[in-house]
Amino acid sequence: MPDVSFVHQSGDVALRSIEVRIADGVATITGLVSPDVWEHIEREDVFGAAHRRRAGSLPGQGDVRIEIEGAESSMQPGAGPFARDWAIISASRRIDDAPGEVWTGAMFSDPPMWSKAADALVELGYSSTSTRDTSADFADGAGSVVTVSADVDSRLGGITCRRTISTPSGETLGAVLTVVNDVNETFPAGTLSFSVDTLTLKSGVPIPEGADISDLLEALAYGLPGMLEMVTPAIERVAVGDITSTDAIQDIFG
């Protein structure tokens, strides 16, 4: 097939010697680009090459064979085609000294739905302590720990914030729980709980089939940790007996 140029704000990107496969309304295009064009694709995030998750690397030099995927409708006349409508799924180079035709390289996939929330937490001063396919943990160095998650299989995501406080005595435990219950009646998002010496603020988000909740998780990441920080000092003072539950609610909500 003839070369195809994809429109991008940084400059059009042409794929040579393309092959097209269409199945179930999804088009897959495979084509070659020069090393310079590949550098441009990576630098300018064309087809999502910079922000999509990458497994593997491209060895050697020379032309790069890329595979991109998009809706079949994106190929219709007059549709561009626009690079923003296509996502890279693989990039490879031919191994010259290998017998036969051997290509090796990298596979690309969508970033996890919690990635935007992770970026928000880093912006707020948190550091990543562990990551998994469906979740990641962050800490701020001052005692707060945040877990962001998005599990497509269970169709549930959310953010959980935890902060350790002094262990209440038998005399102050009831007051701590009173404050927690009063806070839950007022907070617009999330559920506050207390166990032994840990305050936990959690907000769960269902994931409808085919939906992307990354923007919602990002919004929660900006708001939920601050909400926990807002209530922690007063509850800490209740736990050690410095103030009453009534005083704490006044301190929190004015």
Convert the pLDDT of each residue in 98-129 to its tens digit: 566 778 889 988 888 898 999 999 999 999 99
Residues 123 and 240 in one domain: yes
How crowded is the C-beta side of 240, counted as CA atoms within 13 Å?
8
Residues 18 and 127 in one domain: no
pTM for the predicted model, two decimal places: 0.69
Pairing of strands 127-131, 135-139: antiparallel
Query: At CB < 8 A and 24+ separation, what contacts does 36-40 make?
Result: 37/13, 37/64, 38/64, 38/66, 38/91, 40/10, 40/11, 40/13
Taking a C-beta distance cutoff of 8 angstroms, is the pair 29, 18 a contact?
A: yes
Domain stops at, among 109, 137, 154? 109
Residues 153 and 77 in one domain: no
Which pair of structure tokens corresponds to residue 76? Answer: 């219709």
Residues 119 and 51 in one domain: no
Q: Is 248 helix (H, G, I), strand (E, B) or coil?
A: helix
The domain in which residue 51 lies consists of: 4-109
Domain stops at, among 61, 82, 109? 109
Q: How confident is the model at residue 177, as a pLDDT?
A: 96
> Which amino acid belongs to residue 145?
V
Taking a C-beta distance cutoff of 8 angstroms, is the pair 28, 68 a contact?
A: yes
Residues 97 and 187 in one domain: no
* DSSP string of 43-111, one letter each residue: HTTGGGTTTSEEES---SSS-EEEEEEEEGGGGSTTSTTBGGGEEEEEEEEE-TTSSS--EEEEEEEPP
Q: Is the pLDDT of residue 223 over 90?
A: yes
Phi, psi angle pair for 147, to nearest 5°: -115, 125
Q: How confident is the model at residue 77, as a pLDDT?
A: 66
* DSSP string of 154-176, one letter each residue: TTEEEEEEEEE-PPP-TTTHHHH
Q: Is 219 helix (H, G, I), strand (E, B) or coil?
A: helix
Residues 39 and 135 in one domain: no
CATH number of the domain that residue 164 is part of: 3.30.1460
Residues 79 and 24 in one domain: yes
The total of structural domains in the chain comes to 2
> Which amino acid belongs to residue 41?
I
- Torsion sign (Cα): 243, 249, 253, 254: negative
Strand partners, 208: none
Residues 10 and 92 in one domain: yes
Residues 146 and 240 in one domain: yes
Residues 24 and 104 in one domain: yes
Domain stops at, among 109, 132, 160? 109
Strand partners, 68: 29, 88
Residues 172 and 193 in one domain: yes
Convert the pLDDT of each residue in 52-77 to its tens digit: 888 888 887 889 999 999 988 887 66
Q: Is the pLDDT of residue 41 over 90?
A: yes
